Structure 1
């Protein structure tokens, strides 16, 4: 099936300056129809309208709390009814947390894992069977350099642990779903200029951060979105269980 006959679902793509929105545009430019799921319904619909107007593909935005199974079921029912079969899923919805481990509360720990890990599970568990049944699928997890280097960027231990959990999730899932034509990969961005990091990219803090990046600049959302779109291509069928770093060389391992 050509991309125009399939839909890509991107979670957490309502933010105007986020990786999710950039990814919806990159996927649509490659021919995918797009479903935007976000806790912010207005933001999701705005992204979808922008994508449809810009690229001429079918797109819809729906409210979705990825931590809530019923909300995910409802949103995906809307997607299934309105758009072609889902061929790609980008688990982009996530939250960070800078709280030091010795200060973290049970509630904060659970909040971070609920969105980053349970949220990815809730959506993936409902879409993977259809992909496997059709013999084609592309699943991409948005992890973080924090998972690989042990924090030290913006997120604390809870965030690093949750994002590392996504890496294990993706690798094991890749082994299970590979025989069914479904690839599963992870992208681990470093310092990317989004609403989450924007406040930290000023003055001396920005100078110090950029000093540790060999390419001499912070990342842009398109740097990540283009890679995700590459991993979702039909031709990229022999890459699975991999983690791709997008950090300008700030973490080389």
Structure 2
């Protein structure tokens, strides 16, 4: 295949998404990060990273809306010529026990975390099929594998994501396209570090056999491998990276 491959990372401006963007850029890809409507700091984020030597393009998209996702894909292809790699990383939480969970909170999480995978993958897939090469990587969660108190919406969406992975992997396995899931455990991101220190030290870290939080860069390294030509025989997999918190 001629030309530099293009990677799109949804939710690419925070925590894990940012680490994935940086790793893929340093691995030689052209990288586009998507961000949600209402993010007022997107232009500043691009400028800051440009000064650090990271040339990452940014595109606004509401992944929960198909028309917005389709328009964003067209925009990226128009600017960058193609999309070879899609990392479905965008996600939200609206935690509550089912007894207290509102219908709106259920729907918001499913629309973003699961519908968003469909909304971005479907328009991207056409170009991959035409070129005969592609990598689709869906970022799930350890909580999609083992469940989590107060997260029936999040766990359902993240578990559903891997069902999507397996079915699509079968459809495109002979087309040069791989589809895989990564299920991270607790990572050292801004979101996790907002958890009260006592909860982190007494409730969360003791559940992790390696005795620490994961680093976003460790997950980004796994993403980079799955994007490579060396990973061409890996498809339909759900790869856990959780420090031994949940083994399957």
Normalised by the length of structure 1, the TM-score is 0.91
Gaps of 5+ in 1: none
Is residue 7 of structure 2 the alignment partner of residue 12 of structure 1? no
Query: How has the CA–CA distance of structure 1 residues 77 and 45 changed in structure 2, closer, same or farther, with 3 Å as cutoff?
Result: farther
Deviations 1:58-116 (A, max 9, x none): x3101111112222233222211211311100000001232101111211111110000
Cα distance, 1:230 vs structure 2: 0.8
Which residue is 1:243 aligned to?
Answer: 238
Query: How has the CA–CA distance of structure 1 residues 75 and 43 changed in structure 2, closer, same or farther, with 3 Å as cutoff?
Result: farther
Which residue is 2:191 aligned to?
Answer: 196
Cα distance, 1:47 vs structure 2: 4.5
Is residue 210 of structure 2 the alignment partner of residue 215 of structure 1? yes
8 Å contact kept, 2:22–2:54: no
Which residue is 2:59 aligned to?
Answer: 62
C-alpha distance in 2, partners of 1:169/1:158? Answer: 16
Which residue is 1:170 aligned to?
Answer: 165
C-alpha distance in 1, partners of 2:28/2:127? Answer: 20
C-alpha distance in 1, partners of 2:148/2:199? Answer: 20
Cα distance, 1:33 vs structure 2: 0.2
Normalised by the length of structure 2, the TM-score is 0.93
Deviations 1:6-45 (A, max 9, x none): 2100001122xx1001000000010000111111555444
Deviations 1:180-239 (A, max 9, x none): 110000010111122222222512442331112111101111111111111111221000
8 Å contact kept, 1:41–1:62: no
Gaps of 5+ in 2: none
Which residue is 1:141 aligned to?
Answer: 138
Q: CA RMSD in A?
A: 1.8
Is residue 86 of structure 2 the alignment partner of residue 89 of structure 1? yes
C-alpha distance in 1, partners of 2:222/2:46? Answer: 21
Residues paired across the two proteins, number: 247
Is residue 115 of structure 2 the alignment partner of residue 122 of structure 1? no
